[in-house]
Chain A
Amino acid sequence: MRRVLAMLAVILLEIAAPARAMELRGTGNLGIVIERASGSVQVVDVGARASLGRIEGLGDLSHATAVFSPDQRYAFVFGRDGGLTKLDLLTRTIVKRVMQAGNSIGGAISDDGRLIAVSNYKPGGVRVFDSATLEPVANIPAVYGKSGALSKTVGLVDAPGRRFIFTLYDAGEIWIADFSRGLDPVITKFTDVGALPYDALITGDGRHYIAGLFGEDGLAHIDLWADPPKVERILDGYGRGEKKLPVYKMPHLEGWAQAGDRFVLPAVGHHEVLAMDARTFREVGRVAVHGQPIFAVARPDGRQVWVNFAHPLNDTVQVIDVPTLKIVHEFKPGPAVLHLEFTPRGNEVWISVRDSDKVVVYDTRTFEKLAELPVAKPSGIFFTARANRIGL
């Protein structure tokens, strides 16, 4: 009798809700891995080093990125095709999906978690949505010059004070959109920041915005605490006198570039990682590396920086010891290493190896391989710990 009752209870529960939603659990150690070619993501349990399941139907996810709601339950995925998809990590379902532009490149969530901003190539500019409903709330066309052309936008980040900051690739401008007084943003524009700014970062304290320049050896820096803020060139002419090498893939910049009292940044057209003092913004050294660096990611404690590389040298990862600026480890996870993400305290790192269709997990101290997960053409890996960090 008891068994029958138990069975009945199970059946009733199954009817009442999807079985997977029944599990009572937190979301702080969840994450998603983008399956770029199949328009799907895998929801992963970071602690268990395991996949919990797949969510399909997200469109073109090449170069897709994601941000998380402050409660770490929802992921907002920005697809290449202009799709913005809100995922529920607990039920592993799509909550809402909108096609908001023709061609997009990432997004950001406001400090209060209410606004989702998306950076668009076509039509060039930033569109802003209510994070609860994905209803559009603001549109910021990136109009520049006399012709009124629209610039592609890159390097979109959140900044304290309900602001978004982004960079106009074609125009060479940086704009701050301030939503602190409502949904009609106050825009501050910085012009002539440099040639072809390709990506940007904001530091974890929300103070410094730094845009990388493809068209010149240098970066554009804004100290947001300055009154008024202004653009300054940093690491100006870092490749002076050296021939530029071909860049088969654009490097990426994110707030993780800060490693303790240093910034560690990929050079463009030089097989080097540049180290800069985090207070003076002057170069303190550089490290010759295996190829054109793509991601230079500081382990959360800042002691190490892990670097991956552009095609055709993209099977290798190098680990730089930050205090000595020496390469302390080099290995080949497999063909086409696209991305890496540290666990929140940096004890482990997850690496996506696109052409092996797997994600590999390593111990960051012993460099021992801990696990392999089958993932179809993996690219970006995003853990929910990002929900609590400015600029991620």
Chain B
Amino acid sequence: MRPLAHSLALAAVLAGVGAAWAHAGELPAARESALSYLVRQDCGACHGMTLKGGLGRALLPEALKEADVESVARIILDGVPGTPMPPWRGLLSGAEARWIARALKEGRIQ
């Protein structure tokens, strides 16, 4: 983590405004690349490896334009009842779900 991000994160924690990781928008690099791999390979089973959609909807930035990070993260964590989208809570933390949501919206899933 960069020093500036670190002090921002620290400040956020000290100020008691909530999740420092999510605020800084960063996870350890190894975890970010593991999450990217998970999204492409395993979420890709339904959403397509290129995220253009399949049985599940497309997850490209264009398709998620109208959705905010928090609501995408909530869908990842809680699933969509009545559809095959399962809740990933238990396998992914809130910070990880928010990282995925943001990375999807910004087209940063490698």
Decide whether A and B are members of one complex.
yes
B-binding residues in A (CB < 8 A)? 36-37, 60, 62-63, 80-81, 102-103, 105, 121-122, 152, 154, 169, 196, 198, 214-215, 246-250, 311-312, 336, 354, 377
Complex Cα–Cα for A196 and B86 (A): 15
Are B41 and A354 in contact, with the CB atoms below 8 A?
yes
Of all chain A residues, the one with the shortest Cβ separation from B44 is: A62
Are B49 and A37 in contact, with the CB atoms below 8 A?
yes
Q: Chain A residues near B53 (CB, 8 Å)?
A: 103, 121-122
Interface of chain A, main secondary structure = loop
Q: Chain A residues near B46 (CB, 8 Å)?
A: 249-250
Of all chain B residues, the one with the shortest Cβ separation from A336 is: B41
Is B61 in the interface zone, CB < 8 Å from A? no
Q: Chain B residues near A154 (CB, 8 Å)?
A: 55
Are A81 and B52 in contact, with the CB atoms below 8 A?
yes
Complex Cα–Cα for A247 and B82 (A): 12
Are B84 and A247 in contact, with the CB atoms below 8 A?
yes
Complex Cα–Cα for A93 and B17 (A): 60
Q: Chain A residues near B45 (CB, 8 Å)?
A: 62-63, 249-250, 311
Given contacts A122-B53, A247-B86, A354-B41, 18 further A-B contacts (CB under 8 A): A36-B49, A60-B50, A62-B48, A63-B45, A81-B50, A103-B52, A103-B53, A103-B54, A152-B55, A169-B55, A246-B86, A246-B87, A246-B88, A247-B84, A249-B46, A250-B45, A311-B42, A336-B41
Of all chain B residues, the one with the shortest Cβ separation from A195 is: B82
Closest 8 CB pairs of A and B: A62-B49, A246-B86, A311-B42, A249-B45, A214-B84, A247-B86, A60-B50, A248-B86
Complex Cα–Cα for A105 and B41 (A): 16
Complex Cα–Cα for A152 and B57 (A): 12
Chain B interface residue count, CB cutoff 8 Å, equals: 20
Q: Chain B residues near A36 (CB, 8 Å)?
A: 49
Are B84 and A198 in contact, with the CB atoms below 8 A?
yes
Nearest-Cβ distance from residue B61 to partner chain A, whole angstroms: 18
Are A312 and B91 in contact, with the CB atoms below 8 A?
yes
A63/B54 contact (C-beta < 8 A), A80-B48, A336-B41 known: yes
Q: Which of B73-87 touch A at CB < 8 Å?
A: 79, 82-84, 86-87
Interface of chain B, main secondary structure = loop
Of all chain B residues, the one with the shortest Cβ separation from A311 is: B42
Q: Which of B50, B54, B79, B82 is close to A105, meaning CB atoms less than 8 Å apart?
A: B54
Nearest-Cβ distance from residue A102 to partner chain B, whole angstroms: 8
Of all chain B residues, the one with the shortest Cβ separation from A377 is: B41
Q: Chain A residues near B91 (CB, 8 Å)?
A: 248, 312
Q: Chain A residues near B88 (CB, 8 Å)?
A: 246, 248
From A36, A214, A250, residue with most partner B Cβ within 10 Å: A250
Are B79 and A246 in contact, with the CB atoms below 8 A?
yes
A250/B84 contact (C-beta < 8 A), A62-B44, A105-B54, A121-B54 known: yes
CB-defined A-B contacts under 8 Å, sample of 22 = A37-B41, A60-B48, A62-B49, A62-B50, A63-B54, A80-B49, A80-B54, A102-B52, A103-B52, A103-B54, A105-B55, A121-B54, A154-B55, A169-B55, A246-B87, A247-B84, A247-B86, A249-B46, A250-B45, A250-B55, A336-B41, A354-B41
Complex Cα–Cα for A122 and B52 (A): 11
Nearest-Cβ distance from residue B80 to partner chain A, whole angstroms: 12
Q: Which of B9-67 touch A at CB < 8 Å?
A: 41-42, 44-46, 48-50, 52-55
Of all chain A residues, the one with the shortest Cβ separation from B84 is: A214
Of all chain B residues, the one with the shortest Cβ separation from A62 is: B49
Of all chain A residues, the one with the shortest Cβ separation from B89 is: A246
Are B49 and A60 in contact, with the CB atoms below 8 A?
yes
Q: Chain A residues near B87 (CB, 8 Å)?
A: 246
Q: Chain A residues near B55 (CB, 8 Å)?
A: 105, 121, 152, 154, 169, 198, 250
Q: Which of B42, B49, B83 is close to A248, meaning CB atoms less than 8 Å apart?
A: B42
Nearest-Cβ distance from residue B47 to partner chain A, whole angstroms: 10
Nearest-Cβ distance from residue B78 to partner chain A, whole angstroms: 11
From A36, A152, A246, A249, residue with most partner B Cβ within 10 Å: A246
Complex Cα–Cα for A122 and B47 (A): 13
Nearest-Cβ distance from residue B73 to partner chain A, whole angstroms: 17
Complex Cα–Cα for A154 and B55 (A): 9
Complex Cα–Cα for A249 and B42 (A): 8
Q: Mark B88-99, 1 if CB is under 8 A from A, else 0.
A: 100100000000
